[in-house]
Structure 1
Amino acid sequence: MPVTTLERPSRTAGARPAAPRRTRVFALAEARWAAIATVAFLVALALQLTGAPSWAWGALYAVAYLTGGWEPAWAGLQALRDRTLDVDLLMIVAALGAAALGQVMDGALLIVIFATSGALEALATARTQDSVRGLLDLAPATATRLADDGEEQSVPTAGLVVGDTILVRPGERVGADGRVLAGASEVDQATITGEPLPVAKEPGDEVFAGTLNGLGALRVKVERDAGDSVIARIVAMVAEASETKAPTQLFIEKVEQRYSVGLVAVTLAVFAVPLMLGAGLAGALLRAMTFMIVASPCAVVLATMPPLLSAIANAGRHGVLVKSAVVMERLGQVDAVALDKTGTLTEGTPRVTAIRPPAGAGPAEEALLTWAAAAEHPSEHPLARAIVDAARNRGCALPAAEEFTASPGTGVRARVGGAWIEVGAPARLMTEGTPMATEVAELVTELEDVGHTAVLVLRDGVPAGVLGIADRLRPDAVATVAALRALTGRTPMLVTGDNPRAAGRLAEEAGIADVRAGLLPQDKVDAVRGEERAGRKVLVVGDGVNDAPALAAAHTGVAMGRAGSDLALQTADAVIVRDELATVPAVMTLSRAARRLVVQNLVIASVFISGLVLWDLVGELPLPLGVLGHEGSTVIVGLNGLRLLREAAWRRAAGRTAG
């Protein structure tokens, strides 16, 4: 099947994605034709076995030939026009030859097998074509440009140039990469850096296109054209990484070409040599067609697909969507793993992890948390939601907050129970005259040193205490890291855009020593490619847009599906739908079991095909016996591959990783 690559965004292209390519429509149509061929074949086979009239099942076999065979036949004829020969066309010829000799069912089976495998490959290829659409949707179509006289102009983001000044209102997405000229706000830039919490921005700070502005207004000076923005470069990297998979496809095509040419040459020789030695035309034709049938790679095709497809189906029942048989095979080849932090190794939701009132002079923990939660209750900030959730979980009754105000980058202020409560960043709320400044600073340092985000609470200007907020490790993270270490012989590495202290703390809890923190998307790609240059096949597990280039560049990419971005889900080779990290080593183990069955099946298929071919060339192989041997090997190989459909196969895979 042809390999389709992702289009690179042009430097002048807007943020709007192109429409899905027509190849996706063709792939869906091919799948429908394969389904019709399969149904027609199964119904025809049932009628034939039950003794129905030949016209009934013969017509259905004809439907299977037409619906399943026209596309590979047409593609094969086009290849012939380009002076190339592929296996698909040879299988059509073999199927027609079988039908001409009265073996209609044998030919129909060949048609159905190749139609089904071709449709699966086409769908997997088409899925990658629009993998960047979710990312491009993040960048706004328009931006508010400020003229020299201060007039506001709504312009397409594609029209922004370096040096323009844009206004980013509260709740809007940033229209271009640039630097803040005026204003203060907090920007959610998890799509670019993977940081779980919004980042305070003030004059001089850098902002990225596609990130979400908070409560403040920002004036931003554009520093990169649309085609050079970080978000556009992510698109380009996804495209480039996807293109690097093409050489494998070219290698397969070369093997198919040589096999096809060799099979045709030998078939012609099997037909011509007996004629030259005086054999009858019918006998020579029968021997040649028998050779074509027994030498057809039907059993070889089934040697590979049923184990891998059975493993895919079994993994799907347990919450892992593996997008193709190629991916399932690759999962078993992995010998190095790179894990994202936020939303992958962790739950991805900030939580209050520490409550620290000043020693001896502070309120009780419940009172401190109640004041902070009451003041934060009207806010939509992620830290505010974490504080309110913590108070509710402890059963705290929250009094009403009055005169609420929020200052971007600083915090909130409200009157709670007659006292003024301020909650926010210690560096912004603390002044030289703040009481107990030294003791509070020590509490802040203590929390930040272990990777927490520190939030200061003031009551009537006096520090009431400090809250520590952090993302929490997944319950199955430690066991998953240990299982991945056992499978690959190497401890996974952690790649994250978060700060080194937070990353180091969580990595230590999970048992990971190799920590790469503060990484932008291109840095994650560099880390993956560095491992691959060392000869390792890397599995990347992530969930965010910022992980998409690394997912595409890796040997295999797995996305966490519940909270994962659309781009990550589209770019990844597999998706963990149930959000259970422990399924990663389980599906790797299942893949290795599938690959072992593939080897077994190839041995079985090779023995049968070699024996039948030698019998036909050296002796006289009766056509019915040849068909029986060919179909017998196909059935044996198929049933062997279906063993991985059983529930016991998944339990064994999960049990080995848990142990």
Structure 2
Amino acid sequence: MNAPGGFTARSAGPRLRAWARGRWAVPAAAGTLVLASFAASALAGHGWWSDALMVSAAVVAGAPVAVAAWRALTARSIGIDLLVAVAAVGAILVRNFWEAAAVTFLFAVGHALESATLDRTRAALAELVAVLPDAAVVLRDGRQVEVTAADVAAGETVLVKNGAKVPVDGTILRGVGAVDESSVTGESIPAEKVAGDAMFAGTIVTAGLLQVTATGVGEDTTLARIIHRVEEAQDARARAQGFMERFSAWYTPAVIVLAVAVGVLTRDVLLALTLLVVACPGALVISIPVSVVAGIGRAARDGVLVKGGEFLETVARVDAVALDKTGTLTEGRPRLTDVVVLDPAADEDDVLLTAARVEAGSEHPLARAVVDAAAESGHVVVGLPEHTEPVPGRGVLAVLDGVPVAVGNLALLAGRDVVGAGRAAAVMAERAAAGRTPMVVTRGDAVLGVVAVADQVRPDAASMVSRLRAVGVRRIVVLTGDVDPVARAVAAETGVDEVRSGLLPEEKLAAVRDLQREGYTVAMVGDGVNDAPALAAADVGVAMGAAGTRVAIETADVALLGDDLLKVPHAVSLARRTVRTMRQNIVIALVTVAALLTGILVGGVTMAVGMLVHEASVLVVVVNAMRLARRPRSAAAVPGGQDRAARSMRTSASRTTISPPAR
């Protein structure tokens, strides 16, 4: 019969074998033997059997240590395991069996606790892996078929119901819903999704029923790439960690030589062995990697991917931030803001429709804003102009219904005798000063009117700038290819007081180099397209909105998976906390060793006490680093904590405003 709770004798075997292979098996066995030795001494007096039990405890706990020490020696490395093994063997040889058992038992317990707490610092990776979906519902031949997520083929339609995990990366084919994307972007508020929007594997549909066309499956999903990146980042060494490992490579042999010298001079073997135990640099060696793992893990859970410990240290030193304007400080989606009529025979519809018909044949980024505004006003733009001639840096020349027309900046009118050019220049200057990009519209040899577009500043841009200053960034610069009045209007709205406008990609790179020559550690924040040279040249390249971008996830020093600008100051703050924790851990380790060495010289620190204090220092270092893995308590400390809550109360749609015609 089955025992209560479903436990059976048959199931006990695998569980016991699993426990025997676990981290606590050796400490438990050694501890049991130590207790048995004490019990034997108490019941029958001290004898060979109690000594045999104590030696057995030392052998059980020390065998893994000796094996690790031998492997390190064969690899020409001298580590902590060798110090403990030598100390234990020496204690046995001088018949101090309790010291040998105590040292190896405490070292085994410390190793098990260290392993357990280190696993906890990798909780971010474990959480991401747990988010990976197992199953998917696919529409095949009109039927719903449940398959494993890995068996979904690209191009298939996946049905995702309310409460289900999205099993693939894809695009919504049909349906409207809300999706919790916190596992990918760190954004806690569910995002509203409609047909055409992107979806990521591992996110959860909290409302609605969605049909998703699969574009990425299995290892090709954004979440899988994020997990791979976090794995690599947590294993990557920080510069300080490399220094500590080189220091340990010299320090450990030096301790052995010192212990031998002390033993020869004092003829006190136990003192020399105690010195070996006390001088173990365990806490020192682990002080940095455990902090890096915890810091990178916390960042990943907040939607910030850091390439590795070295880059985390660099982010902590950042004191200058260069910001791209379009797509970074602004939303990157220009909208029409003004239609100004300058021809008495025309009206707003005439100006807007003419501009839209010309821009329908243009590849300029601002063209879409004009065409979309015409469509929203009820004007359907069909077909292309009879002739289109783009003029780089100026605008577009075209022929509509046999009449020459043009849309562009004032430079487009140079050398032409156009009626109303002076008035158009005044209107365009006024709109540019307001932070908009104006374009003159001409028909024949007269100005028809002026249209202006503007890219909306992100709601959290100003807060991001103020928080960067609060975390210690001394210089913030906007680098943009846009015209100076527009750039300065955006900078004024966001609180940035330094602007470099009209820059080509190579000029942005030069601007970053200038900051570096002035002694700044520079972070460049951009969308990763035309900012690529500057991102590569900066000390830290930060890519915005990288969740669906394979290249950004794989190559950026820091990748912000969402479009939340507040993650930029959060990343700097977290990096500085991580480096501060590293330094605290180094101090803890060094003070502990110094105190123990003093205790040996003064007297009173035995081998067992030394190992106990040493292992306690290791745990203090690990626990101190684990504080990084906790989410800050205050909403303001979380990326977008208060700002996102405020934004969720606003409507996401913004209407295009058409100004009345000038009189």
Q: What's the TM-score bracket when you normalise by the shorter of the two chains?
A: 0.5 to 0.7
Counterpart of 1:304, as a letter, is I
For the residues of structure 2 that align with 1:536 and 1:312, how far apart are their CA atoms?
Answer: 24
For the residues of structure 2 that align with 1:605 and 1:361, how far apart are their CA atoms?
Answer: 83
Q: Would you say the 8 A contact 1:44–1:61 is kept in 2?
A: no
For the residues of structure 2 that align with 1:632 and 1:594, how far apart are their CA atoms?
Answer: 21
Q: Would you say the 8 A contact 1:481–1:491 is kept in 2?
A: no
Q: Name the SS of the counterpart of 1:440 in structure 2.
A: helix
Q: Return closer, same or farther for 1:343/1:655 CA change in 2, 3 Å cut-off.
A: closer
Q: Return closer, same or farther for 1:496/1:432 CA change in 2, 3 Å cut-off.
A: closer
Q: Name the SS of the counterpart of 2:260 in structure 1.
A: helix
Q: Would you say the 8 A contact 2:69–2:85 is kept in 1?
A: no
Alignment correspondent of 1:320: 304
Q: Does 1:45 align with 2:23?
A: yes
Could you tell me which of 395, 407, 421 is aligned with 2:389?
A: 407
Q: Would you say the 8 A contact 1:548–1:572 is kept in 2?
A: no
Alignment correspondent of 1:558: 542
Structure-to-structure mapping, 1:516-535, within 5 angstroms: 516-520=500-504, 523-535=507-519
Alignment correspondent of 2:262: 273
CA deviation map 1:327-354 (0-9, x unaligned): 3333333333222323322333333233
Identity across matched positions, percent: 34
Q: Would you say the 8 A contact 1:357–1:363 is kept in 2?
A: yes
Alignment correspondent of 1:372: 355
Q: Does 1:261 align with 2:250?
A: yes
Q: Name the SS of the counterpart of 1:473 in structure 2.
A: coil
For the residues of structure 1 that align with 2:340 and 2:63, how far apart are their CA atoms?
Answer: 78
Structure-to-structure mapping, 1:165-244, within 5 angstroms: none
Aligned-pair CA distance for 1:407: 2.0
Q: Would you say the 8 A contact 1:479–1:658 is kept in 2?
A: no
Alignment correspondent of 1:424: 407
Q: Name the SS of the counterpart of 1:472 in structure 2.
A: coil
For the residues of structure 1 that align with 2:110 and 2:558, how far apart are their CA atoms?
Answer: 30
Alignment correspondent of 2:661: none
Q: Would you say the 8 A contact 1:404–1:412 is kept in 2?
A: no
Alignment correspondent of 1:304: 288
For the residues of structure 1 that align with 2:495 and 2:368, how far apart are their CA atoms?
Answer: 30
Counterpart of 1:372, as a letter, is A
Aligned-residue Cα RMSD (Å) equals 4.7
For the residues of structure 2 that align with 1:307 and 1:255, how far apart are their CA atoms?
Answer: 13
Aligned-pair CA distance for 1:483: 2.0
Q: Name the SS of the counterpart of 1:265 in structure 2.
A: helix
Q: Return closer, same or farther for 1:525/1:65 CA change in 2, 3 Å cut-off.
A: farther
For the residues of structure 1 that align with 2:308 and 2:328, how far apart are their CA atoms?
Answer: 22
Q: Return closer, same or farther for 1:627/1:571 CA change in 2, 3 Å cut-off.
A: same
Q: Would you say the 8 A contact 2:535–2:541 is kept in 1?
A: yes
For the residues of structure 1 that align with 2:614 and 2:407, how far apart are their CA atoms?
Answer: 74
Instruction: With the length of structure 1 as denominator, give the TM-score of the two structures.
Output: 0.58
Alignment correspondent of 1:382: 365
Structure-to-structure mapping, 1:435-454, within 5 angstroms: 435-448=419-432, 452-454=436-438
Q: Name the SS of the counterpart of 2:342 in structure 1.
A: coil
For the residues of structure 1 that align with 2:380 and 2:594, how far apart are their CA atoms?
Answer: 79
Alignment correspondent of 2:557: 573
Aligned-pair CA distance for 1:374: 5.0
Q: Would you say the 8 A contact 1:561–1:579 is kept in 2?
A: yes
Q: Would you say the 8 A contact 2:358–2:385 is kept in 1?
A: no
For the residues of structure 2 that align with 1:300 and 1:570, how far apart are their CA atoms?
Answer: 32
Aligned-pair CA distance for 1:323: 2.0
Q: Would you say the 8 A contact 1:424–1:455 is kept in 2?
A: yes
Q: Name the SS of the counterpart of 1:45 in structure 2.
A: coil
Alignment correspondent of 1:398: 380
Instruction: With the length of structure 2 as denominator, give the TM-score of the two structures.
Output: 0.58
Counterpart of 1:373, as a letter, is A
Q: Would you say the 8 A contact 2:323–2:526 is kept in 1?
A: yes
Q: Return closer, same or farther for 1:612/1:62 CA change in 2, 3 Å cut-off.
A: same
Could you tell me which of 337, 340, 349 is aligned with 1:356?
A: 340
**Structure exhibiting the larger radius of gyration computed from Cα positions:** 2
Q: Name the SS of the counterpart of 1:513 in structure 2.
A: coil
Gaps of 5+ in 2: 1-17, 34-55, 90-99, 122-237, 644-663
For the residues of structure 1 that align with 2:574 and 2:249, how far apart are their CA atoms?
Answer: 33
Counterpart of 2:107, as a letter, is D
Q: Does 1:648 align with 2:632?
A: yes
Q: Does 1:493 align with 2:477?
A: yes
Alignment correspondent of 1:625: 609
Q: Name the SS of the counterpart of 1:455 in structure 2.
A: strand
Counterpart of 1:328, as a letter, is L
For the residues of structure 2 that align with 1:449 and 1:558, how far apart are their CA atoms?
Answer: 30
Q: Would you say the 8 A contact 2:319–2:472 is kept in 1?
A: yes
Could you tell me which of 596, 609, 634 is aligned with 1:612?
A: 596
For the residues of structure 2 that align with 1:397 and 1:294, how far apart are their CA atoms?
Answer: 83
CA deviation map 1:181-212 (0-9, x unaligned): xxxxxxxxxxxxxxxxxxxxxxxxxxxxxxxx
Q: Would you say the 8 A contact 1:370–1:391 is kept in 2?
A: yes
Q: Return closer, same or farther for 1:294/1:650 CA change in 2, 3 Å cut-off.
A: farther
For the residues of structure 1 that align with 2:521 and 2:588, how far apart are their CA atoms?
Answer: 29
For the residues of structure 1 that align with 2:487 and 2:310, how far apart are their CA atoms?
Answer: 33
